[in-house]
A and B are shown apart, each in its own frame.
Chain A
């Protein structure tokens, strides 16, 4: 008998004569305390994310590339990793063509194996989109895919993320439903709620443990 068969046998034997407990999931518990009027959703998200040292800027669909350029300049970041085949990647590339002072854009357009060294050692910042956010916990939702790979939001020390204000959900329960994850999960889905951090030494909070040291969220007001 295989290990699997033996384990399952033991478990089934232990449950003999017993019944599965009923599913009494009470969704009000994970929704009602975590609902916000539309005008407060963004404020809540902002408050929670700023509390864990996230930088947040309000902008809009047309002005964000210019704001991003300013922020990069202010932070003296000379290179930015982008996903060239996303809408925001294209929009940024176009905007950049009109600016001579803008830092270099670098496209994540190859398998990581082909440029891993550069990604780890010479990529100070990145820009990604998000598929939404969660007001209750102050979290961005990212679903990396073949256009916008997973490591973009992890390896570069500064991560810029674009968030459409209209995609902020009240809570994780409602976000899961809206994104219909039950019917099929993305390959990788992430909730990101600030820059990487640790309190493993003496419980002193330190940012920039293994992931980004800085998380900058540009909220596009579109509602």
Chain B
């Protein structure tokens, strides 16, 4: 993380320097926090459970603070900054121990890692805490790959999957690299590209209700290219995108469905669904 710069609101700004590549701890920690995210909580709880199982299989004890709720992103991106800040503050209070915070969703992990510092720029004490949490926040795939250094043993039949990565996860957390690397460890899985792979699926939080036709056109194009890719399954590490993509596939009565990366990895490596 960059050293804090003195903040003069009206000073002319230069771009934030690109962060240096992240360095990872040498050893797996004994314990981690799981921040489940609000969408996983209600719509993909099994993905959260599979994340816990994957982590436990690595010998890590998972702590799930029951008071957690949402990272605050929906309000933040809608411009309701004050509301987002209070929700963020409530989360920050839950992750006090010096354990990694693992998040099975790239965009929520990005909130923890990048945007909390913007939210608390004017509150030195909370900012310090936000920085400390940001330092030890990991997206699940990143954590499995670079901290656990997992070696996955594929036990499933040959299959072809398409990987969709959420835009903020791609740009803020480089989740696409982590997802690809994990899938490529699975001997029976062939990863297929899809057209305009790096393009947004049209979810965008409240964007999908504020600009419904544009969002609908985007998810129609995204699901068309996923169907055309020849993949038998779509995998994503972001539950928001999955809800959008699965919702559209369902409406199209397409046999193709999206699955959370955590569930896919767990099931392919012998875990029981």
List residues of A whose CB falls within 8 A of some B CB: 14-19, 21
B14–A17 contact, CB under 8 A?
no
Smallest beta-carbon distance B170→chain A, Å: 27
B8 at the interface (CB under 8 A from A): yes
List residues of B whose CB falls within 8 A of some A CB: 8, 10-12, 14
Smallest beta-carbon distance B118→chain A, Å: 20
Closest to B13 in A: A21
Can you name 13 A-B residue pairings with CB atoms under 8 Å?
A: A14-B10, A15-B10, A15-B12, A16-B10, A17-B8, A17-B10, A18-B8, A18-B10, A18-B11, A18-B12, A19-B11, A21-B12, A21-B14
Main secondary structure of the interface of B (DSSP, over half): loop
Complex Cα–Cα for A18 and B10 (A)? 7
Complex Cα–Cα for A16 and B12 (A)? 11
Contacts of A19 in B (CB 8 A): 11
Contacts of A18 in B (CB 8 A): 8, 10-12
Contacts of A16 in B (CB 8 A): 10
The list of the 7 closest CB pairs from A to B, nearest first, reads A18-B11, A18-B10, A21-B12, A18-B8, A18-B12, A14-B10, A21-B14
Given contacts A16-B10, A18-B8, 6 further A-B contacts (CB under 8 A): A15-B10, A17-B8, A18-B10, A18-B12, A21-B12, A21-B14
Q: How many inter-chain contacts with C-beta < 8 Å in the A-B complex?
A: 13
Complex Cα–Cα for A18 and B8 (A)? 8
Smallest beta-carbon distance A101→chain B, Å: 60
Smallest beta-carbon distance B7→chain A, Å: 12
Complex Cα–Cα for A15 and B11 (A)? 7
Contacts of B11 in A (CB 8 A): 18-19
Complex Cα–Cα for A15 and B12 (A)? 8
Complex Cα–Cα for A17 and B6 (A)? 14
Complex Cα–Cα for A18 and B11 (A)? 5
Contacts of B10 in A (CB 8 A): 14-18
Complex Cα–Cα for A15 and B10 (A)? 7
Closest to A24 in B: B14
Complex Cα–Cα for A24 and B14 (A)? 12
Contacts of A21 in B (CB 8 A): 12, 14
Complex Cα–Cα for A130 and B10 (A)? 47
Smallest beta-carbon distance A10→chain B, Å: 13
Smallest beta-carbon distance A126→chain B, Å: 46
Complex Cα–Cα for A21 and B13 (A)? 9
Smallest beta-carbon distance B52→chain A, Å: 48
Closest to A20 in B: B12
Contacts of B8 in A (CB 8 A): 17-18
Complex Cα–Cα for A196 and B47 (A)? 58
Complex Cα–Cα for A15 and B9 (A)? 11
Contacts of A14 in B (CB 8 A): 10
Complex Cα–Cα for A17 and B7 (A)? 12
Smallest beta-carbon distance B159→chain A, Å: 40
Smallest beta-carbon distance A66→chain B, Å: 56
Smallest beta-carbon distance A203→chain B, Å: 18
Complex Cα–Cα for A75 and B165 (A)? 57
Smallest beta-carbon distance A72→chain B, Å: 51
Smallest beta-carbon distance A19→chain B, Å: 7
Complex Cα–Cα for A86 and B14 (A)? 48
Contacts of A15 in B (CB 8 A): 10, 12
Closest to A16 in B: B10
Smallest beta-carbon distance B168→chain A, Å: 29
